[in-house]
């Protein structure tokens, strides 16, 4: 890329106006300034939109008429970033993700200092409010990384990864244009896993401790905590991913499929109501086998998505 890279931050917001205020304030005080910001209000019932308008920042606000989940919010936000701001990089985060003042600087220094083949994605270190690593967002080293990839990552004190969380990760816009956007029908869970592995298929990505964000969840939970009825989304989306997504190679499907079964087993063991998980499994499996995910433009029908953004989503299908 010639000249300084343009970075657009994308935030998906839903009924957390106080935390959103913190996020916007943190973005306003980055040592490496963001070039533009997009906030997607996922049909909040609080005054989220007014918080954005009162922030004093030049923010592109997209107000949806129904909650499309994290998957829909990020798909809309990334497409809006593309058509409204033409960035080189898209930096995504939830409305409970508060970046340290050097978070973007750390991401960009990792990108510019990397000695290997150009990176397509890079993620932050995620901590909880006590400063310890958040177990929900702990990065995992790419089990398929070559010795050269590991050596190149070591040169910038980072770790090669095969997937990233939407809790602060950044993607090259030209790669997003090539592979498309998050799958809206996932709604929540595994949307970031599917999208990031699709972006990184045949390309390199890193997790860097040089960029730190605080994930202000209500408690310091992990990925195998009891999800209750939401287990339906975990099961449905994983089956969709393994059956329909082009993100993973065959051997990767075996490795990640086995890992999912192990995690599901831990979830069941820890659950206080296994009947709910059983019902969620049956429901999710039935949904997954009935049909594949719909095209994004169809899934967002009547959600209040602006015309230029829906056209971009349609183009990328």
Helix (H) or strand (E) holding 13: strand 7-13
The span from the CA of 7 to the CA of 208, in Å, is: 17
Q: Where are the domains of the chain?
A: 7-220+294-315
Question: For 7-220+294-315, CATH number?
Answer: 3.90.550.60
What does R_g of the chain's alpha carbons equal in angstroms?
Answer: 19
| DSSP conformational letter for 134 | P
Distances (CA, A) of 90 to 18, 172, 311: 24, 7, 19
* Global pTM value: 0.93
DSSP output for 29-51: T-SS--SEEEEEE-S-SSSHHHH
| pLDDT one digit per residue (tens) for the chain, 317 residues | 445 799 999 999 999 999 999 999 999 999 999 999 999 999 999 999 999 999 989 999 999 999 999 999 999 999 999 999 999 999 999 999 999 999 999 999 999 999 988 899 999 999 999 988 887 777 888 999 999 999 999 999 999 999 999 999 999 999 999 999 999 999 998 999 999 999 999 999 999 999 999 999 887 766 556 677 888 999 999 999 999 999 998 888 888 888 888 888 887 777 778 888 888 888 889 999 999 999 999 999 999 999 999 999 999 88
The span from the CA of 197 to the CA of 190, in Å, is: 10
């Amino acid at each position: 890329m010639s000249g300084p890279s343009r970075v657009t931050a994308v935030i998906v917001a839903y009924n957390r106006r106080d935390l959103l205020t913190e996020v916007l304030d943190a973005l306003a005080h980055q040592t490496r300034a963001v070039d533009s910001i997009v906030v997607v209000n996922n049909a909040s019932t609080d005054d989220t939109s007014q918080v954005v308008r009162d922030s004093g920042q030049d923010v592109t606000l997209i107000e949806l008429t129904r909650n499309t989940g994290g998957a829909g919010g990020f798909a809309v936000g990334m497409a809006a970033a593309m058509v409204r701001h033409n960035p080189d990089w898209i930096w995504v985060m939830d409305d409970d993700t508060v970046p340290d003042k050097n978070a973007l600087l750390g991401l960009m220094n990792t990108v510019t200092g990397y000695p290997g083949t150009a990176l397509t994605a890079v993620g932050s270190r995620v901590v909880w409010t006590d400063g310890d690593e958040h177990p929900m967002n702990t990065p995992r080293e790419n089990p398929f990384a070559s010795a050269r990839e590991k050596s190149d990552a070591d040169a910038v004190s980072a770790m090669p990864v095969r997937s990233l969380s939407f809790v602060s990760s950044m993607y090259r816009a030209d790669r997003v244009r090539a592979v498309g956007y998050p799958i809206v029908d996932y709604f929540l869970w595994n949307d970031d896993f599917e999208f990031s592995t699709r972006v990184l298929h045949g390309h390199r990505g890193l997790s860097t401790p040089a960029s730190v964000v605080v994930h202000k969840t209500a408690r310091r939970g992990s990925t195998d905590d009891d999800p209750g009825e939401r287990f339906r989304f975990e099961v449905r989306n994983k089956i969709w991913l393994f059956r329909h997504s082009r993100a993973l190679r065959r051997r990767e499907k075996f490795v990640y499929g086995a890992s999912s079964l192990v995690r599901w087993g831990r979830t069941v063991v820890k659950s206080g109501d296994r009947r709910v998980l059983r019902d969620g499994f049956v429901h999710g499996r039935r949904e997954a086998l009935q049909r594949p995910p719909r095209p994004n433009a169809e899934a967002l029908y009547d959600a209040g998505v602006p015309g230029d953004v829906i056209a971009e989503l349609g183009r990328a299908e």
